[in-house]
């Protein structure tokens, strides 16, 4: 395939040797996309843009940041006070991490609702889970860099989790610290890795996109495209829709950066790290609260001590997502046509919010009970409910094609759409 | 929907660090720097600097500030030079290899009252006064908390056992604070003639400390207004473009 003839000589010369223009035309202009994607499909491109924003602001922060226990805190404050627009870089990066997680979590739950993890998109989904894991590691290590009280104690608590591993645990923890406690070597390696991991994420995102373009996007009906009448080219239709979505998102982002820059953070992190003084409460950033609740709720399980069990469940909560394509036994993708799953999906959303709420509080009294029940439900949902509902549920009849469904707006199956799909 | 999710998570984050149960809520004040258009009241911040300089600076450092930064609350160059020159700064080593004292200059950092933590503890029966550069950002409640704390000294409730050298303070976590009540009213003579009541002094010094915690706040809000106007217009145009391009699909 050659570059389009109407293109300039230079473009054709280049394209003949390095077919990058052909590639772009193929992946953007000709790439067929379902015509019925809702705004829930905006969150993928938003995640990508957030990744770019994080990398750019991060690189400029790195020019001014000093990774040393004696200077890190003050160097971040110097960025805030003396570097031109340093406060903007720092607030964009700090709130960017939070909004990145908002976007990615919505993206992920979109996938759960519309069955985007099912055949033939299993690897696409699993690559997404890898991205989530890398993001979590990146955000955790980034949070340590400003070397405030919460940075230090979060690093201490999270690295200490690995001591739960039998026999080798303590050795692993000291190896990760590079010493006998969280100290300068720890800060330096976290900085090095915090710089590295985002670029690994870029690599995995590339694979994620290759896998996506192999079969194209899923869609709110969850049925395959059957012919040209079901598709529209990505450009200009979805480029303009993504740009509009980006505009709305940037407004929300800007409100946080310019007017609520510390609303999502913990004031204690404006106190310099002090290894001798434990803060009253050690709480992670909001996006880790559900996992933190799981970690802290789990009691001794048989012969496994609570700490190890907590760590296993913490990691299990994400690892289980890898198996979802096989745990879900329903042949129907979209929850729109799954009368039972459609409701059970929202139970999971509520469950995760309850977990987040428990994660923000000491595991005492009701919070233990609620945390344990919510943890139990989380695993029940994936390991038991997914397969069982798939077997027992009787899906609604699927429309014959995307175009048939979207041109006849009042047809019965589409009218059964839940509130999630209001455009 | 997304707004609801965001608001939900914001609430969760705010609910996160719950303090001890018997703390009275910190009273909310109205501040010049509140809200999306709020700016620091220069006169109050200058009075607050006076309070810091005369009272708090005996015990508390403000390492992150330089005398030149005071331009941010409206002091002019001559005033800043005079303020800096009234402090003795340790400099050196000189050609003989010795440290020496000289009057401060605008680029110097605020002079700290104690050379190190040990010196502070030795002078204050073991207590360590925290650096105040970021105190408003570093406490739940911010300026409201600092204001309340400074006015929160009371005699301990009957039956409460006070540790030696500790004062009872309603708003301090655990109520036993090692800082003796720093303000009583009439602690300073305000340059602008304002009456130095306790309430006035507390409010002024809290304003000053709020500015010190985030001197770039005004630039942030001002830039934010411009960015938001741009984004709203841009998003409106994009919405129009989207409608037009999609007209033949729907
Ligand atoms: C996946 C993308 C990224 C995520 C999720 C992320 C997350 C974070 C977080 C949560 C913080 C702490 C914010 C704070 O409280 O101050 C942080 C700090 C930092 N990050 Fe990143 N980051 C990312 C990419 C990068 C990249 C690519 C770089 C450098 C090339 C970078 C450089 C820094 C620096 C220097 C700091 C310390 C300054 C500060 O605390 O504001 N980040 N990051």
Confidence category of residue B182, pLDDT binned at 50, 70, 90 = very high
CA distance A223 to A331: 11
Confidence category of residue B20, pLDDT binned at 50, 70, 90 = very low
Q: Is the pLDDT confidence value at B5 over 60?
A: no
Cβ contact (<8 Å) for A244 and B215? no
Q: Which of A52, A85, A142 to probe ligand 1 with, by most ligand atoms within 8 A of CB?
A: A142
What residues have CB less than 8 Å from A360, skipping those under 6 apart?
A283, A286, A289, B12, B13, B15, B16
Q: What share of chain B is helix, strand, coil (3-state, %, to 5)?
A: 45, 5, 50
Are the C-beta atoms of residues B207 and B41 closer than 8 Å to each other? Answer: yes
pTM beyond 0.95: the answer is no
Give the mean pLDDT of A325-331: 96
Active site residue A421: no
pLDDT of residue B207: 98
Chain B: nearest CA to A97, how far in angstroms?
A: 14
- Mean pLDDT, rounded, of chain A: 93
Is residue B249 less than 8 Å (CB to CB) from chain A?
Answer: yes
Beta strand spans in A242-370 (E): none
A209-249 pLDDT, tens digit each: 999 999 999 999 999 999 889 999 999 999 999 999 999 99
Give the mean pLDDT of A121-129: 98
Are the C-beta atoms of residues A186 and A193 closer than 8 Å to each other? Answer: no
3-state secondary structure A374-411: HHHHHHHHHHHHHHHHHHHCCCCCCCCCHHHHHHCCCC
Q: Is the pLDDT confidence value at A29 over 90?
A: no
Give me the CATH number covering residue B110. Answer: 1.10.760.10
Give the mean pLDDT of B193-203: 97
Q: Tell me which of A217, A297, A334, A403 is the catalytic residue.
A: A217
Ligand 1 centroid to Cα of residue A139, in Å, is 7
Name which CATH class applies to A30-218+231-282.
Answer: mainly alpha
A346-380 pLDDT, tens digit each: 999 999 999 999 999 998 889 999 999 999 999 99
pLDDT of residue B16: 38
Q: Percent of chain A having pLDDT more than 70? A: 95
All residues of chain B having their beta carbon less than 8 Å from the beta carbon of residue A35 are: 249
Q: CA distances (Å), B76 to each of A38, B67, B69, B71, B218, in order?
A: 57, 11, 11, 6, 18
pLDDT of residue A363: 86
Q: Percent of chain A having pLDDT more than 90? A: 88
pLDDT of residue A419: 43
**Of residues B153, B161, B159, B220, the one with CA closest to residue B181:** B153
Residue B136 lies in a domain: yes
Q: Is the pLDDT confidence value at B13 over 50?
A: no
Per domain, the residue ranges of chain A are 30-218+231-282, 289-391
Per-residue tokens: A109: 């739950």
Q: What is the ipTM of this complex?
A: 0.91
Beta strand spans in chain B (E): 88-91, 100-103, 167-168, 176-177
Domain span including residue B68: 39-215
Phi and psi based region of residue B83 (left: phi greater than 0; alpha: psi -120 to 50; beta: remaining): alpha
B48-75 pLDDT, tens digit each: 999 999 999 999 999 999 999 999 999 9
What DSSP assignment string belongs to A67-133? -STTTHHHHHHHHHHTSTTHHHHHHHHHHHHHHHHHHHHHHHHHHHHHTTTSTT-HHHHHHHHHHHH
Q: Ligand 1 atom 14: the closest Cα is on which residue?
A: A94
Q: Is the pLDDT confidence value at A422 over 70?
A: no
pLDDT of residue A4: 62
pLDDT of residue B137: 98
CA distance A51 to A56: 9
Inter-chain CB pairs, A–B, below 8 Å? 133
Is residue B228 less than 8 Å (CB to CB) from chain A?
Answer: yes
CA distance B206 to B213: 10
Helix axes A366-380, A341-359, angle to 10 degrees: 140
Chain A: nearest CA to B15, how far in angstroms?
A: 7
Active site residue A361: no
What DSSP assignment string belongs to A227-238? SGGGEEEHHHHH
Phi and psi based region of residue A67 (left: phi greater than 0; alpha: psi -120 to 50; beta: remaining): beta
pLDDT of residue A5: 62
Cβ contact (<8 Å) for A91 and B219? no
CA distance B106 to B86: 11
- How many structural domains does chain B have? 1
pLDDT of residue A30: 82
Dihedral angle of Cα A333, A337, A343, A349, to the nearest 10 degrees? 30
Partner A, chain B 54-73, Cβ-Cβ below 8 Å: 63-64, 69
A126-182 pLDDT, tens digit each: 999 999 999 999 999 999 999 999 999 999 999 999 999 999 999 999 999 999 999
B105-153 pLDDT, tens digit each: 999 999 999 999 999 999 999 999 999 999 999 999 999 999 999 999 9
Give the mean pLDDT of A336-344: 97
Confidence category of residue A405, pLDDT binned at 50, 70, 90 = confident
pLDDT of residue A7: 79
What residues have CB less than 8 Å from A62, skipping those under 6 apart?
A195
Residue B66 lies in a domain: yes
Substitution target from A40, A87, A99 for chain B, most B beta carbons within 10 A: A87
Q: Is the pLDDT confidence value at A420 over 70?
A: no
B143-177 pLDDT, tens digit each: 999 999 999 999 999 989 999 999 999 999 999 99
Substitution target from B70, B116, B174, B216 for chain A, most A beta carbons within 10 A: B216
**Across the interface, which of B17, B63, B234 has its CB nearest the CB of A281?**
B17
pLDDT of residue A409: 53
Q: Tell me which of A68, A174, A213, A235 is the catalytic residue.
A: A213
Give the mean pLDDT of A2-28: 85
Q: Is the pLDDT confidence value at A301 over 50?
A: yes
Are the C-beta atoms of residues A268 and A114 closer than 8 Å to each other? Answer: no
Q: Ligand 1 atom 13: the closest Cα is on which residue?
A: A94
**Across the interface, which of A240, A263, A353 has its CB nearest the CB of B245?**
A240
CA distance A402 to B201: 70
Per-residue tokens: A201: 């994420």
Residue B8 lies in a domain: no
Instruction: Name the residue with tokens 């009241």.
Output: B41
Residue B129 lies in a domain: yes
Ligand 1 centroid to Cα of residue A421, in Å, is 34
Q: Which of A7-11, A109-113, A388-392, B234-238 has the lowest mean pLDDT?
A: A7-11
Residue B233 sits at φ, ψ, to 5 deg, of -65, -45
């Amino acid at each position: 395939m050659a570059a389009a003839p109407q293109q300039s000589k230079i473009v054709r010369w280049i394209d003949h040797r390095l077919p990058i223009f052909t590639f772009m035309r193929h992946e953007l202009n000709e790439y067929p996309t379902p015509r019925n994607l809702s705004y829930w499909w905006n969150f993928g491109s938003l995640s990508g843009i957030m990744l770019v924003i994080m990398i750019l602001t991060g690189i400029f922060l790195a020019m001014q940041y000093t990774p040393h226990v004696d200077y890190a805190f003050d160097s971040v404050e110097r960025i805030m006070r003396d570097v031109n627009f340093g406060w903007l870089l720092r607030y964009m990066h700090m709130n960017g991490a939070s909004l990145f997680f908002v976007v990615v979590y919505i993206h992920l739950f979109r996938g759960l609702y519309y069955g985007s993890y099912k055949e033939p998109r299993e690897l696409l989904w699993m690559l997404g889970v890898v991205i989530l894991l890398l993001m979590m590691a990146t955000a955790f290590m980034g949070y340590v860099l400003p070397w405030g009280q919460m940075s230090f104690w979060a690093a201490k608590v999270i690295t200490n989790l690995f001591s739960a591993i039998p026999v080798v645990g303590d050795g692993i923890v000291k190896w990760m610290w590079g010493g006998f406690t969280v100290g300068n070597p720890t800060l330096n390696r976290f900085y090095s890795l915090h710089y590295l991991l985002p670029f690994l994420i870029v690599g995995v995102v590339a694979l994620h996109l290759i896998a996506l373009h192999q079969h194209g996007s899923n869609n709110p009906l969850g049925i395959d495209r059957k012919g040209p009448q079901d598709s529209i080219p990505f450009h200009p239709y979805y480029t303009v829709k993504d740009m509009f979505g980006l505009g709305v998102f940037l407004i929300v982002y800007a409100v946080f950066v310019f007017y609520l820059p510390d609303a999502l953070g913990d004031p204690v992190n404006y106190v310099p790290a002090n290894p001798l003084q434990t803060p009253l409460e050690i709480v992670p950033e909001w996006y880790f609260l559900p996992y933190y609740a799981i970690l802290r709720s789990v009691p001794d399980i048989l012969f496994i001590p609570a700490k190890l069990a907590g760590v296993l469940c913490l990691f299990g909560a994400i690892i289980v997502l890898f198996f979802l394509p096989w745990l879900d036994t329903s042949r129907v993708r979209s929850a729109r046509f799954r009368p039972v799953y459609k409701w059970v999906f929202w139970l999971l959303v509520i469950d995760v919010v309850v977990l987040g709420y428990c994660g923000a509080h000491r595991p005492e009294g009701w919070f233990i009970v609620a945390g344990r029940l919510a943890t139990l439900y989380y695993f029940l949902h994936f390991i038991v409910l997914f397969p069982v509902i798939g077997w027992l549920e009787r899906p609604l009849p699927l429309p014959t094609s995307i175009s048939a469904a979207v041109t006849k707006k009042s047809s019965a199956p589409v009218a059964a759409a839940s509130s999630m799909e209001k455009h | 929907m997304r707004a609801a999710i965001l608001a939900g998570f914001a609430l969760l984050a705010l609910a996160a660090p719950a303090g001890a149960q018997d703390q009275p809520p910190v009273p909310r004040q109205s501040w010049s720097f509140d809200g999306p258009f709020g700016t620091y009241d220069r006169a109050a911040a200058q009075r607050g600097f006076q309070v810091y300089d005369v009272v708090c600076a005996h015990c508390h450092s403000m390492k992150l500030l330089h005398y030149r930064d005071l331009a941010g609350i409206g002091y002019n160059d001559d005033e800043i030079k005079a303020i800096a020159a009234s402090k003795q700064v340790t400099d050196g080593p000189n050609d003989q290899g010795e440290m020496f004292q000289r009057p401060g200059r605008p680029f110097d950092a605020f002079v700290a009252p104690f050379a190190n933590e040990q010196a502070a503890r030795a002078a204050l029966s073991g207590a360590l006064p925290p650096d105040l550069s970021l105190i408003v950002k570093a406490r739940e409640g911010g300026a409201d908390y600092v204001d309340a704390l400074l006015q929160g000294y009371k005699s301990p409730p009957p039956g409460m056992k006070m540790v030696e050298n500790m004062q009872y303070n309603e708003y301090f976590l655990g109520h036993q604070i090692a800082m003796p009540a720093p303000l009583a009213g009439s602690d300073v003579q305000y340059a602008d003639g304002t009456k130095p009541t306790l309430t006035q002094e507390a409010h002024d010094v809290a304003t000053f400390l709020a500015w010190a915690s985030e001197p770039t706040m005004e630039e942030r809000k001002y830039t934010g207004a411009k960015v938001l106007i741009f984004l709203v217009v841009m998003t409106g145009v994009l919405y129009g473009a989207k409608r037009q391009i999609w007209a033949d699909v729907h």
